Amino acid sequence: MGMRENRRACVTASLALTIGFMGAFVGAASASTAGAAATGITVCKDAYEQNCTSNVPGYVGDVLKQVSPGLRDSISSIRNNGAQTICFYTDNNFEGRGVAVPPGGSLANLAGTYVGGSSMNDVISSWAPLGGPQPPPGSAC
């Protein structure tokens, strides 16, 4: 192999490594973006999906710290366009009374949703995906 052919082989190998690295980098960036993709969960300060915050995180142990201070204990309607049932709890860290919202479900007015004899309106502080069978909207978690 002559000097020119050897140099061409080195340039070709270098170019292939660079393209491979860039492809891996772009693939990793796409994967990390997909992980942070929209959740489909919308929480609203007012009934009938008014004054909403969309695509909130799927796991929220403290809405005050993780989403917005203005949403703590002031959520009046919920929509779940995500892929999992989400349980919304009255207390931080997934405790207290909970109401389930399955994929594609919504609760348009939490004032009319009762769990444990009390309304779920303006009391939600945390939420997380629920495992197991898919309960109907408004079911206790």
Range of the domain at 122: 41-129
What six digits make up the tokens of 59?
A: 């796991």
Burial of 116 (0-12, 13-18, 19+ CB in 10 A): exposed
Does one domain contain both 8 and 49?
Answer: no
pLDDT in tens, the chain (141 residues): 554 554 444 333 333 333 333 333 333 333 333 333 468 999 999 999 999 999 999 999 999 899 988 888 899 999 999 999 999 999 999 999 999 999 999 999 999 999 999 999 999 999 999 886 667 778 888
Structurally, the chain folds into a number of domains equal to 2
pLDDT at position 55 is 92
Whether residue 14 is contained in a domain is answered as yes
